[in-house]
Amino acid sequence: MAQRVLRDVEVVARAGLDLDTFMEEALASVARAVPHVGACLATVDPSTLLLTGTHKYGDLRGRDEHDLEWGLIEYGTAEPSSFAELARRDEPALAVRPDSSARVADFMEPYFGYTDELRVVFRDRGTVWGGAALFRDETDDGFDDGDAALLAALSPLMSVGMRAGLLTRMAAGLPPATTGPAVIIVDADDTVQQMSAGAEDRLADLVGSAAMADPVSVVAALVGAARRFARGEAATPPRCRMRSRSGMWLVLHATPLSPRDGRGGDVVVTIDEARPPEIVPLVVAAFDLTPRERDVTQLVLQGVDTKEIAATIHVSTYTVQDHLKSVFDKAGVRSRRELIARIYFDQYVPRMGTEVGPTGWFAGV
């Protein structure tokens, strides 16, 4: 059964499916070998491991009432089985029980009745693109080492499918009317105290599918991570990039505010359109290029011709053409022009022809 699941997931991972369809089909295959009553699959920014989306299945589907607490626990506290910690382990999968996890004992079991959790991060070539948590209740046997071993074997295949789904073109149409940064201020009691004009539109645009019905967990993850930064437990303020329902790439970041009246914990969350320099590294990484293909792509983006590329990286022009063919195949394009458009301008095409302001960005942004 395990080998059949591996084969099935590999097929759907390389089928070029959108993210929702890939997750649904892959999880259905996994369930045949690793039954569970609920599951949550998450996408993350591979550079920061910050949450960019949650997709729930089984009896977790539609259960969004505790997303705020989950995000604060997952990213605001330190636990060996957190996704961030699991990403640093050699083995990407781990079975978790209440006696080894405060998260399971104090949150998952009381609120959802889950007594066992199986976690995995989706990683290939050292880069993590997402993760999953499967759950069982007290009526089932606990997850065992065999279950963890299967999910560990699936980890790189799931990563391939997530990378492909990330780059699948979103729904066509104009970007949302909101332009410019949206600001949300969350106080020490985890209550939204203030929101700038357009913030609700930005939050609504974060919803990527029916499975991700509420962006609260993403915002809560940023707030929790910002508080860890304020306590000196993280080196930098949290930041992540994600693609919204409209297809726009957004960048989200959170910063702790200075304590007032001796009371800290307030956090400001900013959501804004990502600029090309923020998008390019993520998109290029998602193409899964070799180091040499990345070198060639970087030079193409700088407008360097084939002969100059060959001289710069000390190979023949024929070798450059071979690298370019491979890059085109991985990016799903047929020419340099299409490659540049794929990397830079996918989200900006609906705005071409609009006025450009003095900053060089679209007017009104």
pLDDT per residue over 129-159, tens digit each?
999 999 999 888 889 999 999 999 999 999 9
What is the predicted pLDDT for the residue at 351?
46
| Number of Cα atoms under 13 Å in the Cβ half of residue 324 | 23
The per-residue b/e assignment along 200-228, b for 16 or more CB within 10 angstroms, e otherwise, is eebbebbbbeebbbbbbbbbbbbbbbbbb
Q: What is the per-residue pLDDT across 238-261, written as a single tens digit (0 to 9) for each? A: 999 988 877 778 899 999 998 766
Helix (H) / strand (E) element for 126: namely none
Question: Where do the domains of the chain lie?
Answer: 2-167, 182-275, 289-351
Reference 75, options 44, 98, 97; nearest CA is 44
Average pLDDT of the residues of the chain: 86
Which of 92-106, 174-188, 288-302 shows the lowest per-residue confidence on average (mean pLDDT)? 174-188
Q: Is domain 289-351 classified as CATH 1.10.10.10?
A: yes
Evaluate the CA torsion angle 293, 129, 340, 362 in order and state its sign.
negative
Q: Is domain 182-275 classified as CATH 1.20.1600.10?
A: no
CA distance 151 to 157: 10
Which of 46-50, 138-142, 266-270, 309-313 shows the lowest per-residue confidence on average (mean pLDDT)? 138-142
Helix (H, G, I), strand (E, B) or coil at 251: strand
Pairing of strands 127-137, 38-44: antiparallel
CA distance 57 to 67: 14
Q: Taking the model in full, what pTM does it have? A: 0.82
Q: What is the per-residue pLDDT across 172-228, written as a single tens digit (0 to 9) for each? A: 444 555 567 899 999 999 999 999 988 888 888 887 654 565 688 999 999 999 999
Torsion of CA 350, 296, 283, 158, to 10 degrees: 140
pLDDT at 115 over 60: yes
172 and 208 Cβ atoms separated by less than 8 Å:
no
Place of tokens 């539609």: 62
364 band by pLDDT with thresholds 50, 70 and 90: very low
Helix (H, G, I), strand (E, B) or coil at 105: helix
Residue 95 bridge partners (DSSP):
118
* Homologous superfamily of the 2-167 domain (CATH): GAF domain (3.30.450.40)
What is the predicted pLDDT for the residue at 212?
60
What does the H/E/C string look like for 163-228?
A: HHHHHCCCCCCCCCCCCCCEEEEECCCCCEEEECCCHHHHHHHHCCCCCCCCCHHHHHHHHHHHHH
182-275 shares its CATH topology with 289-351: no
Place of tokens 């059964």: 1
